[in-house]
Amino acid sequence: MQQIPLPERMRPDSLDKFVGQQHLLGDGMILRKLIEAKTIPSLLFWGAPGIGKTSLARFIAEQMQMPFFQLSAIDSGVKEVRAVIERANAEGKAILFIDEIHRFNKSQQDALLGAVEKGTITLIGATTENPSFEVIAALLSRCQTYILKPLERDDLETLIQRAIAEDEILRELHLKVEETEALLRFSGGDARKLLNVLELVASALSKGGMINNALVEKIVQQKIAIYDKSGEQHYDIISAFIKSIRGSDPNAALYYLARMIEGGEDPKFIARRMLILSSEDIGNANPNALLLATSCFQAVTMIGYPECDLILSQTVIYLATSAKSNASYTAIRAAQAAVKQTGDLPVPLNIRNAPTKLMKQLDYGKDYKYSHSFEGNFMEQELLPEKIKGTKFYDPGNNARENDIRKQLKAWWKEKYGY
């Protein structure tokens, strides 16, 4: 008889045993209240893999004492959805959990609508993608969306200690943990992966064995192929893909693109990552990168596999060989940090909106200089709040395009912003 894997054995059977997600499941928090009151609406859980979305869905079904059906959007379609709805009708009511619901197309999601509206099924969808982009509006409006946060180091170490102390198999080994860094590194913050690695290491130890970094690295590197079966390299590959484009290596980027294509990765997922990269890593060093990435996303959405591999390839090569700049990324992060630190600073009177007579009497808009009325369409004036005037958020990158931008900013603002 095959042994049940450790992640399955360690699924929490009470709210207090959930690791992480205290913003939702802690005392007095919204989702905990709904579970305890047994008034669960249809839900969407958005977050990284291995942080408890499936465990939470199963726990909810147990608390609601409702039949639980699970589908994976990777290998299920309209036929499977309708079959579950028929079974739910026969049961009276059921919970349907759909993993990776962002991979369902419009027709597959439409098939869920009627049953969700009637209450035949309570839908719980899990997604690693922003549901606003991937879930149809009609279904999105009928679900409450909750963001699940990545697990912290303390959460993962708690999980290790709990597994060693409480699991019916591991506790018999009386294992000791000397170091956790390698366990955490191989798991990448994924609790399911962490427990798989822990079980693999434990299987190589005798009673009273000691777990340390060197041992974990030795065992996992020998058995690394085990973790390819369930597609857990998904996030490692996309990370390598993005870093290859950022590193201006079209050959490495194409290799990881091919890995994703051959693995059946959703082309929209790939295109969306390139769309983000075009602003984060290229930005105004080459503004055309954003245009091409946008066109790529639109094209693969319309065309799909197999032909869209050519569009993906063209875009990858263009982005990888483009000039790079993260100035737009660092600029908005600096501005956001300033807002968090300084709060809602008053807007200077000269650039406030003045739609009423009273506002004009209070000097709203007074002394505003309309840029187009001056030579070169520019006139120096203070546009930032008084408390942070002269603060520079945007520092152009060192590339041909942004060097020109720096020269123009210096010509306009002289020494004000230190360009």
Share of the chain above pLDDT 70, in %: 94
pLDDT digits (tens, 9 = 90+) for 202-221: 988 888 889 999 999 888 77
| Arithmetic mean of pLDDT, 214-242 | 69
pLDDT at residue 230 tops 50:
no
Q: How many helices (H) and strands (E) does the chain have?
A: 20, 7
| Arithmetic mean of pLDDT, 272-291 | 95
Work out the number of other CB atoms within 10 angstroms of the CB of residue 86. Answer: 12
| Arithmetic mean of pLDDT, 149-158 | 92
Calculate the average pLDDT of the chain: 88
> Picking from 239-243, 259-263, 304-308, 391-395, which range would have the lowest pLDDT averaged per residue?
259-263
Write down the pLDDT at residue 324. Answer: 95
Domain 343-413 falls under CATH 1.10.10: no
pLDDT at residue 231 tops 50:
no
The residue extents of the domains of the chain are 21-147, 153-224, 234-320, 343-413
Give the whole-angstrom CA distance, residue 256 versus residue 386.
49
| Arithmetic mean of pLDDT, 56-61 | 92
Find which of 127-136, 211-220, 239-248 is predicted with most confidence, using mean pLDDT.
239-248
Per-residue pLDDT band at 227 (split at 50, 70, 90): very low
| Arithmetic mean of pLDDT, 345-360 | 77
pLDDT at residue 128 tops 90:
no
pLDDT at residue 173 tops 60:
yes
What architecture does CATH give domain 153-224? Orthogonal Bundle (1.10)
| Arithmetic mean of pLDDT, 162-180 | 91
Write down the pLDDT at residue 353. Answer: 79
Please name the fold of domain 234-320.
Zinc Finger, Delta Prime; domain 3 (1.20.272)
Give the whole-angstrom CA distance, residue 417 versus residue 410.
8
**DSSP letters spanning 140-153:** HTTSEEEEPPPPPH
Residue 21, sorted as left (phi over 0), alpha (psi -120 to 50) or beta, turns out to be: left
Share of the chain above pLDDT 90, in %: 48
Q: Are 69 and 170 in contact (CB under 8 A)?
A: no
Write down the pLDDT at residue 362. Answer: 67
pLDDT digits (tens, 9 = 90+) for 95-116: 999 988 988 888 888 888 888 9
Q: What is the CATH number of domain 21-147?
A: 3.40.50.300
Beta strand segments in 128-240, E: 144-147, 176-177, 210-211
| Arithmetic mean of pLDDT, 356-373 | 76
Looking at residue 149, its amino acid is K
> Model pTM?
0.59
Burial tier of 16 (Cβ tally within 10 Å: 0-12, 13-18, 19+): exposed
Closest CA to 63 of 36, 42, 44, 88: 36
Task: Give yes or no on whether 153-224 and 234-320 have one common fold.
Answer: no
